[in-house]
Copies of this chain bind each other. A is one copy, B any other.
Amino acid sequence: MIKDLENIFIGSHAKIMDAFTSLEKSNKSIITSDKWKRDEGGGGHTFVIQDGNFFDNCAVNFSSIAGKKLPKAALGKSISQSSKYGYRAMGVSVIAHPKNPFIPTSHMNIRLFCVMGINNTIKKWWIGGGYDLTPYLPFKDDCINWHKEAKENLDLYNKSFYKNFSKNCNEYFYIPHRKERRGIGGLFFDNLSNMTLEKSTNMLSGIANTYLESYQSIISKRKTSKFTKEQKEFQLLRRGRYAEFNLIYDRGTAFGLQSNGRIESILASLPKDVKWSYKKDKNYIKMEKEVLKYIGKDWNA
């Protein structure tokens, strides 16, 4: 049973690795593909492209871990503590930081938590996941399509999902100390267990597919755009926001750190190069003003 569930996630993982690899066309030394085991139980597969022609870096992680007690960060409001038979948590997470600042950073995650019962049965389970987009030099059409495609897919499962999940996404990917969202949103949900397990995992695969297709469509439109040194600098500085969110607020990162996870895999979500600057020059201020218009808008409206 657990094996069958794992295979669903492994399928999504493989599909995204293939798609990202085909964007590179360069030598293989930029790719690291590590299968690993965890002392406390379970393991995973971390796939990283670094210093490519297309990606500054990206990470496509699969993990399936077993443990005795769920870490605090995994517990939603309404979820009771785990059973004496332990838990399983499996998921795929993707973060992509393309070199070209005209192509947004994107993130996708699908996950399943199982509280185990006697004889390896699943006593209780819930799913979570979503995806979001962080443009630097934004385009209106990209934002509209990103949300439109997310809605079309989720409407297949429940007509209320998109509205709720996109609202959650805006709330979740918020950086309080900056008073800014991380990007133009998308989907975020957690603790969902009101469909059958089969329908739930179908939906997770569908979310991974839709994410990939929507992102590929943006990539194909923007990948030939030429960018200036100032535009690249702007991207590196705005990536600081991304690092701040992931390190301070992200529940996925907290879950990984608290569950004694594999640090290299968890922090592979961070951008390869980041800048922080106290001073802001005129170019930066102008570009930031523009991108904040997009980030401040409700594209799900």
Contact = CB atoms under 8 A, between A and B. Distances in A.
Interface of A: 32, 46, 48, 50, 57, 59, 176-178, 240, 243-244, 247-248, 257, 263-264, 266-268, 270-279
B247 A278 contact: no
Contact of A243 (B178, B243, B263): B243
Given A177-B257, A178-B263, A257-B177, A278 B248 contact: no
A278 B57 contact: yes
Contacts of A59: 278
Contact of A247 (B32, B247, B263, B264): B247
Given A177-B257, A263-B177, A263-B178, A277 B244 contact: no
Contact of A50 (B240, B264, B271, B278): B278
Nearest to A239: B274
Q: Which 4 A-B pairs have the closest CB atoms?
A: A247-B247, A48-B278, A270-B276, A177-B257
B247 A48 contact: no
Given A177-B257, A178-B263, A257-B177, A278 B244 contact: no
A225 B13 CA distance: 47
Nearest to A59: B278
Contact of A276 (B248, B267, B276, B278): B267
A276 B247 CA distance: 13
Contacts of A275: 272-274
Given A273-B273, A276-B272, A247 B243 contact: yes
